[in-house]
Structure 1
Amino acid sequence: MPDPGRQNEKLVIDFIGGAVGFRFRAGEGRGQPLARAVGFKGSVVPSIVDATAGMGRDAFFLASLGASVTLIERSSEVHAALAEAMVRAAAHSEDLAVITGRMTLIHGDSRLLLPELAPEVVLVDPMHPERTKSALVKKQMRDLRDIVGADPDARELMAVALASATRRVVLKWPLRAAPIDGLRKPSHQILGKTTRYDVFVTGT
């Protein structure tokens, strides 16, 4: 449930500085686990729908690699913060304007939109199970959780994504967390330091 105690606070998303800006300036590339999971390989540049846009970090990273990324966000507050962040980034530099130019932001429910979009690749990053040590969760992510709450419909979203994606669905999930109940076994997994990417191939 959203936290009423932070109603007067405004979520700010930054694609220029901070972790996102560092990731861009550091030149992280196609060898990263997320890029491999969504299907970057050789000259292949996938078209991606980020069905749970959230802070937009993954979408920005994938767009920086050349992918066209559609971000879907159902929270009006988070959607507004994303829109503002994209405008600021585009105004900041030509390089960032090129990246945000590959990003299309939609306000809505992915469960309803995915069948209409018929995406090539779908990235699903539901709100993860809370860690036992709250200090491990950065403040910005705690703020996001306060706004959007939990994602009890993650399995339903995955079912829609699997039925809609023409090539693959990628579920971003904590490395050691239990699988989502009722979800079929992934085609393969790509492991990061704290995150795993469960890849479900849906077509060639």
Structure 2
Amino acid sequence: MKGKFISFEGSDGAGKTSVLRAIRADLEKQLGAAAVMYTREPGGDHISEQIRQILMDSKNTAMDARTEALLFAAARRQHVVADLKPALAAGKVILCDRYVDSSIAYQGAARHLGEQEVWQINQFAIDGLMPELTIYLDIPTELGLKRIATHRTDEVNRLDKEQLDFYHAVRHSYLRLAEKEPARIKTIDASQSLDQVIADVKAAMHAKFTDLFANEF
């Protein structure tokens, strides 16, 4: 596989959407639009997107936690086969909004299914495909939720309705993952200004892949 696989993680309100939009635009200027693939999880091809609709439907509040974890893993498996592996084989730079770490944090920790148990479910789904670099945008939980309440304009989904303890568990899980895998997961302080966060993300990407943003460093 010749491409580069970079995932972006973060608690709600960390600013992933804004950061990814900027990073994608600048990479496309450098490499050309055809060389960069933006994608998201759950989502990707039409099958994964249909699973996403079930997961995010605000009416599905009765969904069992294990059902949720299995649906995320199923969407991920389809995403790997239909989108990620072909893009890597084509030499593209993949910018993926969430991947396995999200399931470990949200379902494993916050849903109390067990981080290791959720990791094992996803091992079957991804068949060894992990990002070479994961950008984790870290933000204090209360600040992240305040940002959502103030700025989010899209439809509130099922996962946006959780309690504060849920989001604390998500953040603490991400921090544990980052401490456990420092070579892959780079933590960025997302409470900074957007411009500074973007600059820090570019620096982390350049440190891993020296050909990315080479004209800026």
TM-score w.r.t. length of structure 1 = 0.35
User: Would you tell me which structure has more helix in proportion to its own residues?
Assistant: 2
The structure where strand makes up a greater share of residues is 1
Relative contact order: is structure 1 or structure 2 higher (C-alpha 8 Å, sep ≥ 6)? Answer: 2
